[in-house]
Structure 1
């Protein structure tokens, strides 16, 4: 069918009042149009069907009105397809197997239901400017040679690109939709910028063969098993997206922050996260987390605040950043309230969480973030202590290290324990360590002719006797305090002690310098943070 024949066929359908073609249905199934297929300003009360149609030129439905659906299944269009300011009352069907040699444009179009390009081949751009889509946008399995551009376009539901291939797209978006943008198993072969304002952005098994920048608003981002050959950044856009015509309207979606929910199976060596919420992110299964870059504000989960009860005992958790997986694991092992349970099966055990904490600690250290590194060092040590596969001796040492100074990070705990230890030592020394009286040297002499032999001995200290309260005198306190302070700094006071006092001083000289060292390290760490 030639282009002139097509115009001749449409001429009798022109309404005398509106001067527009008016049709019941429009079917060109299995037809071949040698030039352009122009249907500008046409009104079709039923549906439009171009199944298995070949068009050598362009397809134009500019300012057309279609009451039913528009179907282009397995159509082959050598030129571009224009649907500018067209109103489609139902579905623009998915074009499975269709081929567009150039671009597809929907400037100002209004489509009340689904727009589908499943398994279509589009060599050029896909453009939506000030369009309205009432249903879902579907590009599943499509191959797109150019950009996918959305300007001031509202999508009533979601946008799916599962398995799509973007050959040379440099821009996808801005996608504004109420539900999810699904890029699962899609392939981006060139450097691309993706912008979206949506409830979720799903990138499971997505492959980026070049650099990529994801600028998002509100979305929950799932990057499970995504494959990144080059640097990929995921960042929260601080303000509504704007183009030349001002800020774009945004859907009402819950939560102000962009939240990354999963990095499972991701090689994080090329990943950069900026200003995203990681409080519910699952890291188990990711590799090279020590090379993960986190910029701006990236909050993690936190321990429960306030005082809770574990059985009859009150429990208060020292504030620190933790992994979501630790929150999930603790709901299975403690009766204390405040922890968030897992929504997806059994959480990882401490043996799996310790390496994650270790790698993230190194990532914080490399970025010179001392507070973040300290929190994740604490988490690493905590998981080692709680791991049942850790040898008992090592667990005992870790438990003592935790109790004494919070793994060298809790200055107040170390200082408090040092003061308690010194106070206890002073008290014990006053009661049993100091003798009743300081022994005084006694000299005896022997006269043998013109020679005198003098021997000086100091008698053994005498254990104190009498009521305990009488031993708590100011003089004994001062002597005991001198002994303890000198013990802390590895010096001998020269004070005479009872046998018990000697052993007390030995214990003090072993334990309290260690507590002092832990306190100094903890204070130094606090100052650095």
Structure 2
């Protein structure tokens, strides 16, 4: 029998048969076609084939590559229980109804590049080395349940949404169209190794996307649309800032890691601490700090709307860090261009943000604010002892410390001790600086309690 001669089986029944290096390129299969239980030795080439009716590959075994490049399935296509030892290629294929690819095992990569799914489809549960939906189009809602190393959906179109269960896989949703409610997650939240690792959402409108029990350590979020409306349910983990002495750990997005660690314009001292791990492939950093700042702002807004004070605090810290870094880089640029008024403005805002960070951690670190208040009171007490009292005054350092503490915690109380003109200036500065630092400390305590 010649495998290219469909007339040998006019009823389209190839079930249980064995084929060797089968070549059905461009073949038209009329009506119902059944390859259930068939065994294909070597390569099975169905590229350009047209299945005008229902087609069944139920339980078929492909001992080599299965090539369905630009095949057309005009009826329902059933690939339940199929076993493919090599790669499976459906690139450019058109599915008018279905397909059903369930309990399938593909040892090699599974490709659906530029494939078109006209009707509701259910892909999985299945396993493959990788699954590629680059430029694919699913006109109706599709459910994808895959156990694989990587799922690529770059520039794919899901106008009615997608439910993706990617068990332990790296997921790429770059410039992907999500027109309906969509979901990325897992069915086994207790197993952290089963959580999908979302690598990129850049260029994707995530307004109707829900992430549940996902790993976002290496996820690119700069340039994501409607990020504030994306829902993060369950326990999805972000990366954490590299450790540094006297700094609290906080959740960060991977874009900040790349910006600080690989951007040539970033401060040199921080690049070593923020450098990405050497075992990761090189990745391009965001174009500017403002992109990362906007991503943090959108994430913070989403956390506030969801009542997540912990996440909102960390993302606000990241937003302010990117704003401070942006002003530092802007001042450097304006100095290089010799635009001195702009340099003064950028440098002034950077200094203000630096002080806000140093004395209170942007109003989020209570210990830093209390420490700054204690230092100011101690320094003021020493200054009072050196220049603040008349020569006849007999004041010890502890008397000055008590006087400084009273002055620092009140704006309007009059002086209880005669002072020199220098002492009056010290007291005036202390009466404004002390309540400011005390207020920042209370603000940080309030934020910690609300968490």
- Secondary structure, in 3 states, of the residue corresponding to 1:173? strand
Q: 1:482 to 1:151 in 2, by over 3 A?
A: same
Gaps of 5+ in 1: 1-24, 39-54, 241-253, 308-314, 439-463, 465-470
Give the TM-score of the pair, scaled to structure 2: 0.88
1:77-105 per-residue CA deviation (whole Å, 9 max, x = no partner) reads 22222122221111221331x22122322
Match of 1:282 among 220, 235, 238: 220
1:263-300 per-residue CA deviation (whole Å, 9 max, x = no partner) reads 11111212221111111011222221111111111211
Q: Which residue of 2 aligns with 1:378?
A: 317
Match of 1:394 among 349, 356, 371: 349
Residues in 2 aligned to 1:404 and 1:78: alpha-carbon distance in whole angstroms = 77
Q: Is the 8 A contact 2:404 2:430 kept in 1?
A: no
Match of 1:210 among 131, 153, 160: 160
Q: Is the 8 A contact 1:303 1:317 kept in 2?
A: no
Match of 1:130 among 75, 81, 85: 81
Map 1:18-417 onto structure 2 (within 5 A).
25-29=1-5, 33=7, 38=9, 58-66=11-19, 68-96=20-48, 98-177=49-128, 179-238=129-188, 256-305=194-243, 307=244, 315=245, 317-332=247-262, 333=266, 334-337=270-273, 339-340=275-276, 343-387=282-326, 388-389=329-330, 391-417=346-372
Residues in 1 aligned to 2:299 and 2:46: alpha-carbon distance in whole angstroms = 44
Residues in 1 aligned to 2:18 and 2:3: alpha-carbon distance in whole angstroms = 15
Q: 1:239 to 1:523 in 2, by over 3 A?
A: closer
Map 1:477-492 onto structure 2 (within 5 A).
477-478=398-399, 480-490=401-411, 491-492=413-414
Residues in 2 aligned to 1:374 and 1:111: alpha-carbon distance in whole angstroms = 53
- Secondary structure, in 3 states, of the residue corresponding to 1:60? coil
Shift of 1:127: 2.1
Q: 1:480 to 1:211 in 2, by over 3 A?
A: closer
Residues in 1 aligned to 2:325 and 2:426: alpha-carbon distance in whole angstroms = 33
Q: C-alpha root-mean-square deviation of aligned residues, in Å? A: 2.3
Q: Is the 8 A contact 1:434 1:480 kept in 2?
A: no
Gaps of 5+ in 2: 332-345
1:437-469 per-residue CA deviation (whole Å, 9 max, x = no partner) reads 46xxxxxxxxxxxxxxxxxxxxxxxxx7xxxxx
Q: 1:239 to 1:79 in 2, by over 3 A?
A: farther
Count of residue correspondences: 425
Q: Is the 8 A contact 2:381 2:401 kept in 1?
A: yes
Return the index of the structure with the highest Cα Rg.
1
Shift of 1:498: 2.4
Q: 1:485 to 1:239 in 2, by over 3 A?
A: closer
1:157-207 per-residue CA deviation (whole Å, 9 max, x = no partner) reads 111111111111231222211x21101111111122111111111101111
Q: 1:386 to 1:338 in 2, by over 3 A?
A: closer
Q: Decide which moves more: 220-229 or 292-301.
A: 292-301
Shift of 1:255: 5.4
Residues in 2 aligned to 1:93 and 1:239: alpha-carbon distance in whole angstroms = 40
Q: Which residue of 1 aligns with 2:444?
A: 522
Q: Which residue of 1 aligns with 2:378?
A: 423
Q: 1:380 to 1:128 in 2, by over 3 A?
A: same
1:6-32 per-residue CA deviation (whole Å, 9 max, x = no partner) reads xxxxxxxxxxxxxxxxxxx52445x7x
Shift of 1:479: 5.7
Residues in 2 aligned to 1:158 and 1:495: alpha-carbon distance in whole angstroms = 82
Q: Is the 8 A contact 2:407 2:427 kept in 1?
A: no
1:207-264 per-residue CA deviation (whole Å, 9 max, x = no partner) reads 1121321112011111111012112111123179xxxxxxxxxxxxx95431111111
Q: Is the 8 A contact 1:149 1:174 kept in 2?
A: no
Residues in 2 aligned to 1:239 and 1:346: alpha-carbon distance in whole angstroms = 31
Residues in 1 aligned to 2:195 and 2:407: alpha-carbon distance in whole angstroms = 56
Q: Decide which moves more: 264-273 or 403-412.
A: 264-273
Residues in 1 aligned to 2:374 and 2:403: alpha-carbon distance in whole angstroms = 15
Q: 1:525 to 1:239 in 2, by over 3 A?
A: closer
Q: Is the 8 A contact 2:186 2:194 kept in 1?
A: no
Q: Is the 8 A contact 1:123 1:146 kept in 2?
A: yes
Q: 1:95 to 1:480 in 2, by over 3 A?
A: closer
- Secondary structure, in 3 states, of the residue corresponding to 1:102? coil
Q: 1:354 to 1:28 in 2, by over 3 A?
A: closer
Q: Which residue of 1 aligns with 2:426?
A: 504
Shift of 1:378: 0.9
1:390-417 per-residue CA deviation (whole Å, 9 max, x = no partner) reads 6222111111111111111111100111
